Structure 1
Amino acid sequence: MTGGTGAADDPGCSGCAGCDATTPWAELAAEMRRIKLATELSYGKLAQRTHYSRSSWERFLNQKQLPTRVAVEEFAAAAGTDPGPLLRRLERSLAHETAARAAAAAAHEGVRGGEPGLVPAVPAPRQESDPLGLGRPLGLLAAGALVGGGLVTVLNRAARGRKGL
């Protein structure tokens, strides 16, 4: 979930897509950007002072990805500020995102069950048959190995045929 999710008519919503208010996640990102600006920290300096890359900090501070608790703690340490207020905002952000996902899932279940409901913001993942849990990449690798093995066999037979073996 990016930015904000939920519905404007949700009484527990503190600001989502369609709302005029801001989400807890937006508030966290804005506060982290304010601190970054006040302490004159660039993304590069944050990367040097933490275990996160420049691109990670860009995603966190521009609301493309919700930061982890460790990232918020390292940010506060790098900026020389108290992590408490940022961590409280992070907890509110996590609670808000969890509630938004639950609401979307409930709306989706209502639609699937034939009851009137909202169309889910994110479609349900497609269920594929994978009894061993190996995933598609392994299947593609196996197919490639079979094709490659067949190609080697054909080339070997062609080479033997030219040598008269």
Structure 2
Amino acid sequence: MGRVDGTSGASRTGGTSRTDGTGGTGGTSAVGERGCSGCVGCDATTPWAELAAEMRRIKGATELSYGKLAQRTHYSRSSWERFLNQKQLPTRVAVEEFAAAAGTDPGPLLLRLERSLAHETAARDAAREAARSEKPALTPAPPAARRARRESGLPGLGRPLGLLAAGALVGGGLVAVLGRAARLRKGR
């Protein structure tokens, strides 16, 4: 239960309270606590956190509820909840519609959105690069495996193509047998 000053009891026990006064204790949903996903050396306040915080500030100042935002835009209440609580990065159209519903200039919000998109792209690329560098290098097959492939009866094709070739041979034989059975049934 939240205290009178808008913070939660969790902040006294090591958790953090959200700046929007809801008293959440989740590490990634609180404003300013959503760290980068893969960036090295970034501070905890990302452009996405700044965008969400500014949109929440405007929402509070204009006394817009999620329901009112949904009525004035093409987005649902749940979409606005995701956008403003950093569960999903809003689209450019969503930011423009939000600004129009709130009667504010969309320019500063769109600038923050562009920085957020660039930051998320850089973080995703850094994570991919880190994952790519952690993959073990491909090594050639040991001599025993090459010998086993050679002795499988279909040299040079490898197992997948060898199985495909064997399937084609069996399938071709099956078609021939079924064709002959159909001719015999017709009385030929």
2-structure distance, mates of 1:97, 1:46:
26
Deviation per residue, 1:55-109 (Å, 9 max, x gap): 0000000000000000000000000000000000000000000000000000000
Q: Which runs of 4+ in 1 moved over 3 A?
A: none
- Check whether the contact 1:76–1:83 (CA below 8 A) recurs between aligned residues: yes
Q: Could you tell me which amino acid in structure 2 is paired with residue 78 of structure 1?
A: A
1-structure distance, mates of 2:94, 2:56:
14
2:36 alignment counterpart: 5
Aligned residues between the structures:
106
Which of 49, 54, 59 is matched with 1:36 structurally?
59
- Check whether the contact 2:70–2:76 (CA below 8 A) recurs between aligned residues: yes
Q: Could you tell me which amino acid in structure 2 is paired with residue 106 of structure 1?
A: E
Unaligned residue ranges in structure 2 (runs of 5+): 1-28, 138-188
Q: Could you tell me which amino acid in structure 1 is paired with residue 131 of structure 2?
A: H
Identity among equivalent positions (%) equals 80
Q: Secondary structure at the match of 1:82?
A: coil
2:71 alignment counterpart: 48
Which of 50, 55, 59 is matched with 1:27 structurally?
50
Shift of 1:51: 0.1
CA RMSD of aligned residues (A): 1.9
1-structure distance, mates of 2:37, 2:82:
21
- Check whether the contact 2:38–2:127 (CA below 8 A) recurs between aligned residues: no
Q: TM-score, normalised to structure 1's length?
A: 0.60
Structure number with greater Rg is 2
Deviation per residue, 1:22-51 (Å, 9 max, x gap): 010000000000000000000000000000
Shift of 1:7: 4.9
Q: TM-score, normalised to structure 2's length?
A: 0.53
- Check whether the contact 1:4–1:25 (CA below 8 A) recurs between aligned residues: no
